[in-house]
Amino acid sequence: MMFRTLAAGLALACSSLAAAPIGGPHTDPQGRTAVLVGQTRDGIHHYMLDSRMPLPWGLTMYVAPTLDSGGFTLADGSRSKTASWYAEGFGPQDLAFITGTPQLQGSAIAVGFWMANQLDVDLATGSNRSGSNEGNRLWANVQRMIGDLKATGRPVLLRIGYEAEGPWNGYWPSAYKTVWSKMRAEIRAQKADNIATVWQLAVLCPSHDAWNAGITPGRLIAAKPLALDGKARGTVQNVDMNNVGAVLDAWYPGDDADWTGVSVFDPQDCHDGYGTLQTVVDHLKKKGKPILVAEAAARGFDYDVATGLYAYRQTGKPVREKLAPEQVWREWYQPFLAFVRANRDSIRAVAMISDDWQRYTHWQCRVDAQGKKLAGCNEGNWGDTRLDVNPRLRALWRAELSADGKYLADKPAAQP
């Protein structure tokens, strides 16, 4: 038994030595996994200024080519303000807050660039299918946006058309890849060398067929584009796990991407748990680029400040009340961190969404005891995923970070 244990240990050590970290722009030369936190001005403020957590390696935010987020240069030279509908519905986004707040100086910035609702086609062709591209103004906005991100002087991870295969985005593959080529060329033309690009997948296994598309719940899905225009522009399909690239790579921009990425919200809804996500990550590893967990949160856990306890509420699932923070940690955070560490050779950064989603109208959701919708729930229940709101959860999270809070602590990988 001792010999077998020793042999297994040596094999593991040799395997670890062979798996050198995948490098790329803005990856840590020491091989550490960088930590980012976001995604709204409120969430960042609570994490950094209210709870006084250490500044992470990076902060996250979002912008569209319509420049509804704050802090970007408009055509008249003024700076954009976060649109009220955006701030109230989805949460305030403000580049100026990140760059102008003293406590946030020195952080990298990960920017999710949203271009759904046919904005991808407008940017690619100069059309106005979205109704927002009069005079091809969107491309001029993108050019100024790239200039603004260059001017930050900080490492930037630009997630162009994030969650590429997500049916909710409806990206048209050829237009999507054309936008990627145009934006990459513009980054080079402006010599914006601080900007690295990220191609991100959603990796969703829905618990039920919300599209009535005949898919198998609990299995990986992707959009199935059908037509550029019309009511039936696309549907949803299951992805063959023996050849995920046959579907997912329809949106892959090739060498225009510096990083690849994934979202991690509900891996427990996949029939094999983290197995599906591992299959996708293994596929991405073959592209030889660092991987960013671009969006991650313990979706569906609501927090009660008065009791210090959580409740799991999700559409279509029975409600579970009075959950201790330690239980939430065991259910979601432990398996997630184990997965990240098991893939530390390729997952070079992790972006956590530390936000009270229920604060914003689009994300608000109420369900009955069996998970039947009572109000809201446009995209299910997202809950309160703030890492710092509960003292015990905050302590558990802090123990997973390096002394300066910028990286995951160097701990052995466990089974997710």
Q: Active-site positions?
A: 163, 295
Assess contact for 111 and 159: CB atoms under 8 A: yes
CA dihedral 253, 257, 260, 265 (to 10 degrees): -70
CA dist., res. 307 & res. 406, Å (int): 31
Show Cβ contacts of residue 58 under 8 Å, excluding neighbours closer than 6 positions.
Answer: 34, 35, 36, 37, 107, 108, 109, 110, 155, 157, 349, 351
Q: Is 61 helix (H, G, I), strand (E, B) or coil?
A: strand
Q: Which tokens is 362 given?
A: 């689009």
HSE toward the beta carbon, residue 340, CA cutoff 13 A: 31
Query: How far is C-alpha 83 from the geometric centre of its chain's CA atoms?
Result: 22
Residue position matching structure tokens 């050019």: 143
Q: What share of the chain is helix, strand, coil (3-state, %, to 5)?
A: 35, 20, 45
Q: Which tokens is 130 given?
A: 């979205």
Q: Which of 177, 119, 184 is nearest to 158 (CA)?
A: 184
Show Cβ contacts of residue 18 under 8 Å, excluding neighbours closer than 6 positions.
Answer: none
